[in-house]
Amino acid sequence: MTSPEDAVERVVREEFPRILATLVRVTGDVGLAEDSVQEAVVRALTTWPRDGVPDEPRAWLTTVARRCAVDRIRREAHRDGKEAEAVWLLDSDPEPPPDSVVRDDLLRLVFTCCHPTLSPEAQVALSLRTLCGLTTAEVARALLVPEATAAKRLTRAKQKIAAAHIPYRVPSDAELPDRLAGVLATVYLVFNEGYAPSSGDAAVRQDLVDEAIRLGRLLLDLMPDEPGVIGLLALMLLLDCRRAARVAPDGSAVRLADQVRHRWDPAEARQGVALVAEGVRRTPERADPYVVQAAIAGCHALAPSYAETDWDAVIAWYDVLLGVRDSPSARLGRASAVAERDGAAAGLAEVDDIAGLEHHAWWHGARAELLHRLGRDDEAGIERAAAERLGLNAGALASLDSSLAAPPR
Amino acid sequence: MPQYAALIWNADLEPSDPAFAEMMPGYNAFGHEAEAVIRGGAALYHNATATTVRVTGGKGGEVVTTDGPYADTKEALTGFYLIEAADLDEAVGWAAKIPAAWDGGCIEVRPIIEFPG
Residue B25 within a domain: yes
**What is the SS3 assignment for A94?**
coil
- Mutate one of A118, A156, A165 to test the B interface: name it (highest B CB count within 10 A): A165
More confident residue, A9 or A86: A9
Output the average pLDDT for chain B: 94
How remote is the C-alpha of A363 from its chain's centroid?
25
Residue A76's pLDDT band, with cuts at 50, 70 and 90, is confident
Residue B15 within a domain: yes
Any CB–CB contact under 8 A between A164 and chain B?
yes
Task: Report the C-alpha gap between B74 and A370 in whole angstroms.
Answer: 46
Chain B residues with CB under 8 Å of A117 CB are 88, 92
Q: How many CB contacts within 8 angstroms connect chain A with chain B? A: 24
- Closest Cα to residue B93, out of A172, A184, A159? A172
Angle between helices A30-51 and A4-27 (to 10 degrees): 150
Residue A94's pLDDT band, with cuts at 50, 70 and 90, is low
- Closest Cα to residue B2, out of B31, B39, B41? B39
What one-character DSSP code corresponds to residue A310? -
Residue B40 within a domain: yes
Task: Report the C-alpha gap between A144 and A121 in whole angstroms.
Answer: 12
Indicate the burial class of B51 (C-beta count within 10 angstroms; 0-12, 13-18, 19 or more).
Answer: exposed
- Residue A391, Cβ neighbours under 10 Å: how many? 10
Residue A108 has a pLDDT of 93
AA letter at B116: P
- Closest Cα to residue A298, out of A325, A276, A321, A279? A276
Residue A249 has a pLDDT of 87
Task: Report the C-alpha gap between B96 and B100 in whole angstroms.
Answer: 9
Any CB–CB contact under 8 A between A42 and chain B?
no
Chain B residues with CB under 8 Å of A30 CB are none
How remote is the C-alpha of A183 from its chain's centroid?
10
pLDDT for residue A392 is more than 90 = no
Question: Per residue in A232-269, pLDDT tens?
Answer: 999 999 999 999 999 888 877 888 999 999 999 999 99
Residue A83 has a pLDDT of 56
Listed in sequence order, the residues at least 6 apart from A336 whose beta carbon sits closer than 8 Å to its beta carbon are: A347, A366
Share of chain A above pLDDT 90, in %: 65
Query: Contact, A213 vs A237, CB < 8 A?
Result: yes
Chain B residues with CB under 8 Å of A167 CB are 86-89
Residue B117 within a domain: no
Indicate the burial class of B106 (C-beta count within 10 angstroms; 0-12, 13-18, 19 or more).
Answer: middle
Residue A201 has a pLDDT of 73
Tell me the mean pLDDT in the region A353-364.
Answer: 87
Question: In CATH, what number is assigned to the domain containing residue B81?
Answer: 3.30.70.1060
Listed in sequence order, the residues at least 6 apart from A279 whose beta carbon sits closer than 8 Å to its beta carbon are: A227, A230, A231, A234, A288, A290, A291, A294
Total count of domains within chain B = 1
pLDDT for residue A148 is more than 70 = yes
Tally of residues, chain A: 409
Residue B71 has a pLDDT of 85
Task: Report the C-alpha gap between A269 and B47 in whole angstroms.
Answer: 62
- CB-based contact A167 B88, cutoff 8 Å: yes
Residue A254 has a pLDDT of 87
Residue A358's pLDDT band, with cuts at 50, 70 and 90, is confident
What one-character DSSP code corresponds to residue A407? P
Tally of residues, chain B: 117
- The β-bridge partners of A402 are none
Question: Per residue in B76-110, pLDDT tens?
Answer: 999 999 999 999 999 999 999 999 999 999 999 99
Listed in sequence order, the residues at least 6 apart from A173 whose beta carbon sits closer than 8 Å to its beta carbon are: none
- CB-based contact A164 B88, cutoff 8 Å: yes
Residue B107 within a domain: yes
Which residues of B sit within 8 Å Cβ distance of A? Answer: 2, 4, 86-89, 91-92, 109-111, 113, 116
Instruction: Tell me the shortest Cα–Cα distance from B111 to chain A, in angstroms.
Output: 5
Question: Per residue in A219-236, pLDDT tens?
Answer: 999 999 999 999 999 999
SS3 of A267-308: HHHHHHHHHHHHHHHCCCCCCCHHHHHHHHHHHHHHCCCCCC
What one-character DSSP code corresponds to residue A130? I
Name which of A115, A117, A165 is nearest B2 (Cβ-Cβ): A165
- Residue range(s) defining the domain that contains residue B16: 3-111
Residue A91 has a pLDDT of 58
Question: Per residue in A6-27, pLDDT tens?
Answer: 877 888 878 889 999 999 998 8
Residue B69 within a domain: yes
Residue B44 within a domain: yes
**What is the SS3 assignment for A247?**
strand
- CB-based contact A166 B87, cutoff 8 Å: yes
Helical (H) or strand (E) element with B111: strand B106-111
Distances (CA, A) of A306 to A53, A80, B58: 51, 69, 75
- Closest Cα to residue A4, out of A47, A49, A41, A43? A49
Q: pTM to 2 decimals?
A: 0.87
Output the average pLDDT for chain A: 90
- CB-based contact A165 B86, cutoff 8 Å: yes
Q: Evaluate whether ipTM surpasses 0.95.
A: no
- The β-bridge partners of B56 are B62
Any CB–CB contact under 8 A between A273 and chain B?
no
Query: Contact, A206 vs A194, CB < 8 A?
Result: yes
Q: What is the CA radius of gyration of chain B?
A: 16
Query: Contact, A61 vs A41, CB < 8 A?
Result: yes
